Structure 1
Amino acid sequence: MNTDPDRTRPIEPAERSGVVVPANLVRYAARWATPAADLSAVVDAYWSVAWDLGDDVVEQRILTMPAVTLSVEEGEVPAPLVVTGVHRHAWQRTITGRGRVFAVRLRPAGLAVLADLTCADVADSTVPVSRSLDTRLFGLLDELARTPHNQRPERADELLRARLAERAPSRAGLLANEVLDVLTAGLHTRTGRPLTEATGRSERAIQRALRSTLGQGPKWVSRWVRLQEATRLLSQHPAPAPADVAHELGYSDQAHLTNDFRDAVGTTPAAYVETLRRLATPDAPATGRTRPAPVRTR
């Protein structure tokens, strides 16, 4: 059983992937795989990467979707089974040698279906998954790791479907899914009354749903999806002016975008654009065998 080629495709640099240097997506052979439709309450996407860097070292910065991600990793990696929580800032991973990853990006409702861990247990961290950490989650990822790489999307469907039959999503989880969909689809959607009108639920219910599944409230989630879109826009060639990005994403002015971007990514929008320009220039000053990160490390 091999993966149906129609359900996989490359992750394009122009997409909203969260990778702060989108050109690296090609180098990592990054691909999406579409989960089965009946799992939409639990999983948002499958993705995979594979790399062979030789002596190079890449300091990869990631501004992910507000989501918990499960991954099976091979090669020169920190751990074979991993759960990555919601991060409040862009986070960094050092990539070396050879390796590959198959990952399951969960919907807000997904973690409670698949694990006994809470979002607070993995917030702002990347945690190796062991039997002692969470028996249920370990069993899922261990089964997936035993599956040949080219069969993992189909096997993930089977494993998630079985666990969904054992434990249904909570009402709070389903509401959190809906709220994230509204905020992701409509980047100008504001929290408060517009969000309650879109979902038909109270502000308090929305707040509780997001806090219990993502560890953050609606204002943070709204801000985060806009920052991910800002990163995508600013990485285009040619890049739009930061003031135009601020206007397009509904910021009151460029200063507000600059402050949010600096807090999340560690640099200003203008400096980020300049760094990407230098990385893309063949005659940029040499820095040895190490590929520079586009932003400072926190």
Structure 2
Amino acid sequence: MEIRDTGCQPGAMTNTPRPIGQTDRSGVLHPKNLARYSATIHEADASVAALVDHFWTVAWNLPSAERIEQQIITDPAVTLTVEAGHVPAELVVTGVHRRAWTREIAGWGTVFAIRLRPAGLAVVSDLTPEAVADRTLPVVPELDARLYALMRAVAGAPGVESRIARATTLIGEMAAERPLTPRQLLANDVVAAIVRGDPLPASPSARTVQRALRETIGRGPAWVRRWVRLQEVARQFATNGAGCAAEIAARLGYADQSHLVNDFRSAVFTTPGEYLRTLRLPTEPPRT
């Protein structure tokens, strides 16, 4: 697909950012760090809401000797990022991860991200969910010319608002080329329902739901439900501390506290107790 400059000007769209806070279910372990990254979220325009969940940005400037090994239980979604500074690559696609993954934060850097909904990948890219599963890949023409053209055009826009406007316009054009299928829309609805904690939407069969999610994010509904629950476990530990671990287990539907501990350890490679101890360590104040 050839991406044309559509003439989007900075300020053509109005989008009020919201800081991502410690109490948000962001999946960021050690969420106190979010203040140091100036993390913000921007809602997607209704015209691309079936493809884009939201946009987010981070920016940091750490002392030269400091390194933060940031662990993340990421959303069950594919994310596209335009990056600058001390970063692995300028254009990056991150697939659905089955374990918490670690990103090193050092020096200075900025990230503009497009968090896709399940239906989004097949529209903006020729990659399959399996091709990016458990991976963070530089986006180059040889990987996927369609996705590269989109992200290069977005990277060329000056400023966050301009990037949001350009991404919205171009993704809308790409959707016109590849109209969404009923299964892709079903996948959107299923993941949204799980995230909200609602019953799954009506479907012809459980097999249809399974196929819809496998085709769009590479994982089934049981895994998505487990992963969203683990994000909530991490959020509640960070905000409420250790005293209510048994209550958290009961409230979130675990058979008992030991099941919560085992599930957390398998995803994060540490026990809740060890994680809580690291939360109590002092955090450096923001510096520039």
What is the correspondence of 1:1-298 to structure 2 with a 5 Å cutoff?
A: 1-2=10-11, 6-55=15-64, 56-150=66-160, 151-186=162-197, 195=200, 198-238=201-241, 240-280=243-283
Q: Distance in 2 between matches of 1:115 and 1:87?
A: 18
**TM-score, normalised with respect to structure 1:** 0.88
Cα distance, 1:38–1:4 mapped onto 2, change above 3 Å: closer
1:256 is paired with a residue of what secondary structure?
Answer: helix
Say whether the 8 Å CA contact 1:242–1:270 is kept in structure 2: no
Match of 1:296 in 2: none
Q: Distance in 1 between matches of 2:284 and 2:126?
A: 47
RMSD over aligned Cα, in angstroms?
1.7
Q: Distance in 1 between matches of 2:20 and 2:167?
A: 19
**TM-score, normalised with respect to structure 2:** 0.91
Cα distance, 1:13–1:94 mapped onto 2, change above 3 Å: same
Q: Distance in 2 between matches of 1:6 and 1:144?
A: 16
1:54 is paired with a residue of what secondary structure?
Answer: coil
**4+ long deviations beyond 6 Å:** none
Task: Give percent identity, aligned residues only.
Answer: 51
Say whether the 8 Å CA contact 1:116–1:134 is kept in structure 2: yes
Aligned residues: 274
Q: Distance in 1 between matches of 2:204 and 2:231?
A: 26
Once the 2 structures are TM-superposed, how far is the Cα of residue 266 of structure 1 from its aligned partner? 1.1
Once the 2 structures are TM-superposed, how far is the Cα of residue 147 of structure 1 from its aligned partner? 0.6
Once the 2 structures are TM-superposed, how far is the Cα of residue 24 of structure 1 from its aligned partner? 0.9
Gaps of 5+ in 2: 1-9
Say whether the 8 Å CA contact 1:234–1:240 is kept in structure 2: no
Gaps of 5+ in 1: 283-298
1:183 is paired with a residue of what secondary structure?
Answer: helix
Cα distance, 1:224–1:3 mapped onto 2, change above 3 Å: farther
User: Aligned letter for 2:79?
Assistant: T
Match of 2:6 in 1: none
Say whether the 8 Å CA contact 1:233–1:239 is kept in structure 2: no
Task: Encode CA deviations 1:220-279: one digit per residue, 9 max, x unaligned.
Answer: 111000001111111015555211111111111111111110001111222211210124
Cα distance, 1:232–1:4 mapped onto 2, change above 3 Å: farther
